[in-house]
Amino acid sequence: MFIAKYTITNSILKNVGVIDAAREIVANAPLIPAWEAKFRKEAMERTVHHGTHLEGNNLSEEEVKDVLDGREVFARDRDVQEVINYRNVLKFIDNIAAQIGVGRSYILTIETILEIHKLTIQRILPDENAGKFRVRQVVVKNTKTGQVSFTPPPAAEAPYLVEDLIAWINSDETRQLHPVIKAGIIHYELSRVHPFVDGNGRTARAVATLIMFLDGYDIRKFFSLEEYFDGNPMDYYVTLQSVSNQLVLDTHERDLTPWLEYFVQGVAIELNRVKERVSRISADARVKDKLGEQVELNERQMMVMEYLHRYKSMMNKDFRKIFPDYSDDTVLRELKFLKQKGLVKKVGGTKKATYELK
């Protein structure tokens, strides 16, 4: 059976703590349905864009949104198809999580991994390669130098290595692992085995995300791991390869600690970002409690409310800190709306006015 060798370092412990704290806040934040739907849609768009861009897709974030919304985009057919495919992958793993139930016991099957791969490369690779293990040796090359940076195991070993990994995932011992650490190990091992001709990275990330969903770490589906990885793709690939290229006699002796530190840190950064945004927007629920009715605030108004909750007051000179891209007149219009709704009060004259929560 597959064995994962790693050490729980202070860095991993610290970031697991950040993840769990952010998860708790996000999971319990009161949000109106419109905001929840908006966050999920945006997370899906970011995941599709960064998940495909990481693999060389040339579409911009706006073009990806256009494709997902059904609008025509003038681009390579392959780039457009990759976007559609990865959207279908995300829908597939969402459906699995919904059918099984978040946090309930599950058995991951090899058929699920093969289906994720099939959806990933649909209409990109020939049908005989879709959802099928590779039958030939492949190598990973540096796209700029052409130098081989990593050689995966022989094709004949790939199915057995994936079966070993699945047995490990479904074992009682592994069920005790923290979901994020488990997801990081799965991501690494699928990337190392490289079981398919193409689409290995997207498949590995999708399976890791699915595991987090099933283990109760769906975080309301507001997050995108791919955004962190794509922020500095060199770090992503170099960290993966540095572990895979360790000189050991047995693959089980590879130390996954550097990769897990990187992976867990990425999840912590992404979830902390989600937490900060949700904390701002959840002010909407506090507004409802205050007024006895739902007032739908836009994001600028939410930012003003969150600033006042945190710092108790704001002056005109603070506008630039919060809204560097907007004019003072725009900010004053938002404050006027909040005053009319009885949420904010103005203290003092025009030039030295201070705005406070009412």
Q: What are the tens digits of pLDDT across the range 5-23?
A: 999 999 999 999 999 999 9
What are the pLDDT digits (tens) for 89-143?
999 999 999 999 877 899 999 999 999 999 999 999 999 999 999 999 988 876 6
CATH 1.10.3290.10 domain span(s) along the chain: 10-281
pTM of the model: 0.82
Mode of pairing for the β-strands spanning 313-315 and 344-347: unpaired
SS3 355: strand
Band of residue 358 on the pLDDT scale cut at 50, 70, 90: confident
CATH architecture of 10-281: Orthogonal Bundle (1.10)
> Which pLDDT score, from 0 to 100, does residue 325 have?
82
Angle value at C-alpha 207, between 57 and 251, nearest 5 degrees? 100
What are the pLDDT digits (tens) for 167-214?
999 999 999 999 999 999 999 999 999 999 999 999 999 999 999 999
Mode of pairing for the β-strands spanning 140-141 and 354-357: unpaired
CATH 1.10.10.10 domain span(s) along the chain: 284-357
Distance CA 220, CA 222 (A): 5
**Percentage of the chain modeled with pLDDT above 90:** 61
DSSP state of 297: -
Amino acid at 226: E
Q: Is 178 a catalytic residue?
A: no
DSSP state of 312: S
Exactly one of 50, 194, 252, 309 is catalytic; name it: 194
> Which pLDDT score, from 0 to 100, does residue 18 have?
96
> Which pLDDT score, from 0 to 100, does residue 113 have?
98
Token duo for residue 290: 């205050």
Mean pLDDT in residue range 28-45? 81
Spatial neighbors of 314 by CB under 8 A, at least 6 apart, are: 304, 307, 308, 322, 354, 355
Q: Cβ(118)–Cβ(126) under 8 Å?
A: no
What are the pLDDT digits (tens) for 44-70?
999 999 999 999 999 999 999 999 999
> Which pLDDT score, from 0 to 100, does residue 34 have?
66
Spatial neighbors of 8 by CB under 8 A, at least 6 apart, are: 181
Distance CA 245, CA 232 (A): 20
> What is the widest separation between alpha-carbon atoms in the chain?
78
- Is the pLDDT assigned to residue 324 strictly greater than 70? yes
3-state secondary structure 118-179: HHHCCCCCCHHHCCCCCCCCCCEECCCCCCEEECCCCHHHHHHHHHHHHHHHCCHHHHCCCH
Q: Cβ(137)–Cβ(148) under 8 Å?
A: no
Choose which CATH entry (3.40.190.10, 1.10.10.10, 3.20.20.140, 1.10.760.10) describes domain 284-357: 1.10.10.10
